[in-house]
Amino acid sequence: MIKNNITITALRLFLSRGYKYVSLVDVANEVGITKGGIYHYFSSKEELLNAAVQFLFDHLKAKFIQLFSGEKSIREILYAIIVEREVDHYIKEMIGSTEEFGRANDENFKIEIMQHFPHLYKRIDSDHLDICDAIEKKLHRALQNGEIRGDVDSKIMAIIILTFLNGQKSQGIFANDSEIRKEMMENFYKIICV
């Protein structure tokens, strides 16, 4: 329980401030333990970063797979992810944050992660393959149900959807406007709908 609290707290702080601006003392103070208490579970700040990143990746992957494996239609799923930002809200709730992290923090955090753990590219690729597989299966079911056009290649469209979802945050000011997000989703859906 304490290890999990340390991991979640560190993740929240790393996302909001950036890795280099968070000390183990900051994490310990937030959790309500001593710095030595962190060393009981993690040998270094870098090990804690790795645990926090793995925790984040595990939960992101599970959330995307859960969304695309559920009963909602493709349109409802895209609306939930793009317009309502369900995944963003899920992560904020999971780490106990009300803060909007924003593009700059996301990009800085990604850069810091890759500087410390270049091997994570393999993990990201693996997760993307699993998420893409879930999207492809959902698209295949939608095709069978007549929800999307019969000429849509579900594998290629799954790759396009995943690419779009990964790039959505980098759309800057456009991604912050709910009406534009809604128009993006509607126009994207028109590409595949019957």
Secondary structure of 108-156 in the HEC alphabet? HHHHHHHHHCCCHHHHHHHHHHHHHHHHHHHHHHHHHCCCECCCCCHHH
- Say how far apart CA 105 and CA 154 lie, in whole Å: 33
**pLDDT on residue 178:** 80
**pLDDT on residue 169:** 57
Domain ranges of the chain: 55-192
| Rounded average pLDDT per 10-residue block, the chain, 194 residues | 95 90 96 95 95 94 96 94 91 85 62 81 92 96 91 91 77 68 86 78
**pLDDT on residue 66:** 97
Q: Describe the crossing of helices 24-31 and 2-17 by its angle, rounded to 10 degrees.
A: 120
**pLDDT on residue 181:** 83
**pLDDT on residue 187:** 87
